[in-house]
Amino acid sequence: MSPSPTSLSPSPEQTPPSASRAEGYSPPDEWTEPERWALLPHGQRTDKHGSVVGFPHTVEGGVAMAVAANTTVIEGGTNIFDEQMRLYDSYVVPEDHAPVAVEHIKAVTEKPDRRFEKETGAPAGGPLPAGAYMRNHVIGYKIIEAKGDEISLWVLARATQKNGELAKESGSYTRTLIGVQWHDGDWKLSPEATARALSGTRAQEKPPIVAPGDSVFNTAGWTALREAS
C-alpha cells in the first residue's frame, strides 16, 4: 500500500480524509486550565532531510514522532511540496515509499503552492517574501489505542498563514487521525495503521476541535503539550 498525504501533516490549504478543520473557531476569553499535560521526549538526532528522528520505544516516544511529523514551517525558499516530501522521506515507513506516492504529493500540493505564491506576491516557484509563512504546530493529542508496537491517536494542531510582514496572520485548528508503528529502531507513520485507526473509529464520536484553555478541551480528553526547556 503506497502512502498518501493522509499520513502527513495537513497544510493550511489541505484537509485530507484523515483530518478535519474547524473554520471560524476562536478560543473563549475565559481560560480553563487543561487537566492533562505532557512533556514529550526528544528525538536523538536530525536526519539528512532536517527532521528530528530517533524517538524512544515508548508510547510517549511514538506520540513525539507523530507531533514532529505534524510540525511544519513553510517560508523563504521552502514550499508546501518541499515540507510534505520532508515528512514523507523522514517519517513514512521506507517499504511504503513508491513513485506513485511522490506523484500524488506533487499533485495535491501544486495548487496550494501556486495559490500561496499569488497571495503573497511571490514569483512562481518562490521564494516567498519576508514575513510570509505557513506553519502547523501541534497543541494537543488524544491516544485512541496503544498496543504493542502500534499506536493510534488524534492530533490537534494550529495551522497559521501570514502573507507578508505587514499582513495579518490567519489561522484555524485541525484534528488529524494518525497511526504509527515501531519500525527498524524508530517510530514511523504507517498507512496500514492509519487505515486500521480510520476503520476502528468510524462509528465513534470524534473529539471536538478546540484549543487548550477551552473547557471542552478537558471534557474531550485532550492532553496539552508543554514546551521543552
**CA within 13 Å, CB half, 12:** 22
When pLDDT is cut at 50, 70 and 90, the band that residue 229 belongs to is: very low
Which set of grid coordinates corresponds to residue 222?
Answer: 485532550
Band (pLDDT 50/70/90 cuts) for residue 25 is confident
How far is 65 from 81, CA to CA, in rounded Å?
Answer: 20
Domain ranges of the chain: 5-225
Stated pTM of the model: 0.90
Strand partners, 32: 213
- Indicate the pLDDT class of residue 7, thresholds 50, 70 and 90: very low
Which pLDDT score, from 0 to 100, does residue 8 have?
A: 60
Mean pLDDT, range 207-213, rounded to an integer: 96
Tell me what pLDDT residue 12 has: 46
Residue 69 has pLDDT above 90, yes or no: yes
Centre a 10 Å sphere on the Cβ of residue 221 and count the other Cβ atoms it contains: 13
Q: How far apart are the C-alpha atoms of 198 and 18, rounded to whole Å?
A: 7
